[in-house]
Amino acid sequence: MEYRIEKDSMGEVKVPVDKLYGAQSQRSIDNFKIGIEKMPKEVIEAFAILKKAAALANNKLGVLDDVRAKAIAKAADEVLEGKLEGNFGLAVWQTGSGTQSNMNVNEVLANRANQILNDPEHKVHPNNHVNKSQSSNDTFPTAMHITAVLTLENDLLPSLKQLKDTLHEKSVQYMDIVKTGRTHLQDATPLTLGQEISGWVRMLERSEEMILSGVSFLKDLALGGTAVGTGLNAAVGFDVEVAAQISALTGKNFKTAPNKFHSLTSKDELVFAHGALKALAADLLKIVNDIRWLAAGPRCSIGELLIPENEPGSSIMPGKVNPTQCEAVSMVVAQVMGNDVTVGFAASQGNFELNVYMPVLILNFLQSSRLLADCMRSFNDHCASGLEADEERISHFVTNSLMNVTALNPYIGYDKSAEIAKKAHKDGSTLKEAALALGYLSEEEFDKYMDLKAMCAPKTVKVKE
């Protein structure tokens, strides 16, 4: 491999000739050979957006000339177009402020801008020009917020809506199928399958509302705070203008954070937004667990739902089909729960004017968002959209449930109703047979009161004294 000599404030270092990065990037590569996790591509793209926005803002404010600003913007566009891949392979496990990744982008953009210009009179410097009016301490938090908003709004929320809409359709389709309810894993009073599924839909609606709330917090940007929040070395009005430029480039309504001291050291917005992801994960686990319980079988368990038969379920048992999509979602949930611990701990480690756990925080945040979006798409396409009701099995269970006796409470009281249920269970008889044998109701009265569909939408009745 051929090398060139690059210099920084620490001296000289050898850099591969085919790379656009400089000395500081190479020092990070040499000094942090830790793990296999690299700075996520989404973070680099967010940096490209903010660097272009900064160049445009500085130019508009009169502190960066047209020639350099245009060259930096063009180089940033090439990053976003994927033309400069292979220049951003720094480890996540680096300085906790993300300084080296900030400089990695600065160096690549500066060197590429110089290639574009080929003009010694307008040499672009990574610190003096690309990083103008900025510090790693405000660029990395800004990049985190940009990439978090983009991944949530452009990827996760559409996947969530798709699954929510699919389950809503199933809820409407099965709204009139009466089934037995279950509490404590035991038989309970009836409801319709559509009502049961509507609960899942509402969970996803609630998660969507919480995520949108988190997104609104993430649209506050730290950029303009520079080193410690004071805005040292930034042009007056830079923070407002650069937020406007980022908004124009992304189509999202970003704004400058009202207090930069908060935005540099606190990561509470990311904690809140990831908490919404954790809530979504908890809801998804509840939904997929319900589905795999209800689909358990096919002959020796509940089996009220039929799931798509996507692949063989066993290497030894022929014909076995497993709820694999449900299992995949449940594993994603386990990962998201673990990520939430990391996000919370990382955010708690802000000391004085800076948080120095930012790379690991955004790594976990983005993984959670990506995994949840992917698993919801997969679950929607390969399970939820193909769910079917086994109406015969549902009818068998609901008509034989002893908890239907609850409908008699208003007419004969709790104690007599309990006696009927216990007798039926002991004798193996039906509730009707037990009620008639005990003489508590006539056949006509029993048939009148035992209306399973009416139990799904009860009206107030007067209890007999």
Buried b / exposed e along 142-152 (16+ C-beta atoms within 10 A): bbbbbbbbbbb
Contact between 372 and 284 under an 8 Å Cβ cutoff? The reply is yes
201 is in an annotated binding site: no
183 is in an annotated binding site: yes
348 is in an annotated binding site: no
Has 314 been annotated as catalytic? Answer: yes
**How far is it, in rounded angstroms, from Cα 135 to Cα 127?**
9
Q: Which of 28, 145, 159, 184 is catalytic?
A: 184
Single-letter amino acid code for the residue at 44: I
151 is in an annotated binding site: no
Strand partners, 221: 256
Token pair of 347 as six digits: 């955010």
207 is in an annotated binding site: no
136 is in an annotated binding site: yes
97 is in an annotated binding site: yes
**How far is it, in rounded angstroms, from Cα 242 to Cα 58?**
8
Contact between 116 and 67 under an 8 Å Cβ cutoff? The reply is no
Strand partners, 255: 220
Contact between 26 and 13 under an 8 Å Cβ cutoff? The reply is yes
442 is in an annotated binding site: no
98 is in an annotated binding site: yes
Q: Which of 213, 314, 348, 442 is catalytic?
A: 314
Residue 209: name the closest of 259, 268, 273 by CA: 273
**How far is it, in rounded angstroms, from Cα 146 to Cα 50?**
9
List all residues 6 or more positions away from 225 whose beta carbon is below 8 Å from its beta carbon.
135, 137, 138, 231, 239, 257, 260, 261, 263, 264
Single-letter amino acid code for the residue at 240: V
230 is in an annotated binding site: no
Residue 69: name the closest of 129, 123, 131, 118 by CA: 129
99 is in an annotated binding site: yes
**How far is it, in rounded angstroms, from Cα 284 to Cα 325?**
12
**How far is it, in rounded angstroms, from Cα 66 to Cα 3?**
32
Has 9 been annotated as catalytic? Answer: no
Q: What angle do CA 313, 319, 325 make, to 5 degrees?
A: 30
What does residue 3 show for φ and ψ, rounded to 5 degrees? -125, 155
**How far is it, in rounded angstroms, from Cα 200 to Cα 212?**
19
| Bind-site residues for substrate | 97-99, 135-137, 183, 315, 320-322
Q: Which residues are catalytic?
A: 184, 314
| Bind-site residues | 97-99, 135-137, 183, 315, 320-322
